[in-house]
Chains A and B, each alone.
Chain A
Amino acid sequence: MSDHVHEPSALGGPMLGDGVSTDMVIELRYRPLGDVLLAEVPLLADATPGSVEVLDGDVDLRWIEVDGVELLAALRVVHARERWRDPAFPLRSLVPLDDLVARADRLAGDSLAARARALVTVQHRASRAALARDVILPRRCPPVGSSMDLVRALLLVAEAVEAAARLSLGHDPVRTIRLVAAVREAAAVLRQSQGRPAPGASVGALRLVAGGVPLSVSERIALRRLLDQTLDVALWPRVAGDLVDLAGRIAPWVAMSPLSVE
């Protein structure tokens, strides 16, 4: 079984700025394990380093200026499937992710090693106009916030869930470790996302708040709501406070002193 699909381009090579051939080839690479999409427009990406714009904790875009117009040269998206579910996601119309995911599903291997190696590469074609920054991101990026308190609160919640699991007999350990890991990952991503939200990581964690974890129904509802609200930077200060309160309800002893230094 092949763990690598490559669709060679049947397209002619576009000429940069020739004013005649306006389509450009985008090389797409999708890794199903990790749900990571990387793309590059070779004609642009090899030109100059350009400028990198971090859209949020999941997405960054590299732009190259050609004739006074910023064009998309490369992109990286983590939690791609999650992002493509959002109708307003700016790259949705540019990259046919559903096609990549369908190809990846056909590659699903029997072994973890095969799934880890699985890679779908496709050469896609887009008009030069579709690569313009003004088309992809007609609005400027939303304002950034200070994620410090939010990160701290998420770590505290992860600690509280873990602590609650130690005292709970009826929970599912696999679901619990996945939730704890996802919340920690969201915290780590938010810490490093330069004050921008991390929708993929946050929603990824949100989806794991389900039965089997050592939380009551009301605690699960509250955690889902708060993780959803991490997508809005303006809500971060209040969400951080609410998460700390929630951690206190889940495991009061952790919220009081989560780190015991000898």
Chain B
Amino acid sequence: MTRPTRPTRPVTGPTADGDVDRPPTLEEIEGYAAAVRRAVVRSFSGRPPLGGFSADDVAQEVVLRFLEAPVRVMRAYREPWVFARVSATSRLVDLGRRDRVQRGEGVRLVDTSSGTRPRRVAVWLDAPTARSGDAHDDLRLTEPQSSVEDVVLDRLAVDDLLASLSDADRRLVEYVDLLQFSVTEVAQMEGLRRETVSRRLAALRRSLVDAVGQVAP
């Protein structure tokens, strides 16, 4: 599988003093790691155990994954909870795959016009159609008919692209697609016209869908 090429535009650093080149201190890295663990555990809040995977199992794997490349992660994800969400879902995919392999099941395939390929759906940036009160619903963690793996494969595909967005665009995505504010609310918050926010989001989604297309086998 070919991942999208990482754009060359420099990404914003994690520092508060505007110095994007200053490497984070050990204390900052530790603080970020702690916040990642809390965010992953919180993502399990209000839910029963998922297929035998405890919140601690997943959180620990995500923290260790962060520590493999902390500076890179902190530069790509200003917010620890955003990295936690993306990475936790990715770890669930891995655990789900391992579980299926152990049960003797293979990868889920579908027939498409371009041949048989792993089943995937492009839902990463679908805005919520109704307020659910739970920003984690898009993880589909408790819906037995939906596949976390399918969702996350596309998430991973746009991962690099998301990191490449400008601060303004990335915040737009975070507000609407992660914090689940409606487009109207974000427009009100920021003093922009709803159409402006909607148009910008549509453009972002198109570019992300294009990125997903590049990942097709």
Contacts and interface: CB of A to CB of B under 8 A. Distances in A.
Of A35, A36, A79, A177, chain B has the most CB atoms within 10 Å of the CB of A177
Interface in B138-184: 166, 168-169, 171-172, 175, 179-181
Contacts of B64: 116-117
Given A171-B17, A178-B28, A260-B168, A52 B38 contact: no
Nearest to B44: A76
Given A38-B54, A180-B16, A188-B179, A262 B38 contact: no
Interface stretch (B105-113, B117-125, B189-197): B189-197
B15 A177 contact: yes
A46 B63 CA distance: 27
Given A34-B37, A188-B179, A113 B67 contact: yes
B6 interface: no
Nearest to A45: B49
Given A188-B81, A195-B133, A259 B192 contact: yes
B185 A148 contact: yes
Nearest to A34: B37
Contact of B30 (A57, A115, A193, A258): A115
A194 B133 contact: yes
B121 to A, nearest CB: 24
A166 B18 contact: yes
A78 B45 CA distance: 10
Contacts of B19: 173
Interface in B21-55: 22, 25-39, 41-42, 44-49, 54-55
Of A34, A152, A180, chain B has the most CB atoms within 10 Å of the CB of A34
A38 B49 CA distance: 12
Nearest to A214: B16
Contacts of A173: 15-17, 19, 22
A250 to B, nearest CB: 13
Interface residues of B, number: 63
A20 interface: no
B48 A259 contact: no
A261 B197 CA distance: 8
A36 B37 contact: yes
B210 interface: no
Contacts of B191: 256-257
Contact of A262 (B26, B34, B168): B168
Nearest to B188: A152
A189 B35 CA distance: 11
Interface residues on A, range: 35 or more
Contacts of A195: 133
B94 interface: no
A49 interface: yes
Given A52-B47, A112-B29, A180-B16, A261 B192 contact: yes
A245 interface: no
Nearest to B196: A261
A64 B134 CA distance: 23
B98 interface: no
Contact of B42 (A171, A181, A192, A257): A192
Return the 3 tightest CB-CB contacts between A and B, nearest first.
Answer: A34-B37, A173-B17, A176-B16
Given A188-B79, A191-B179, A262-B166, 18 more contacts: A33-B33, A34-B41, A34-B59, A36-B41, A38-B41, A38-B55, A50-B48, A76-B55, A112-B67, A119-B60, A148-B185, A152-B185, A165-B17, A177-B28, A181-B35, A194-B46, A259-B190, A261-B168
29 contacts: A33-B33, A33-B34, A38-B55, A38-B56, A49-B48, A76-B45, A79-B38, A116-B33, A117-B64, A119-B60, A151-B179, A161-B16, A165-B16, A165-B18, A171-B17, A173-B15, A173-B22, A174-B25, A174-B27, A181-B32, A181-B35, A181-B80, A185-B39, A189-B42, A191-B179, A192-B45, A261-B200, A262-B168, A262-B169
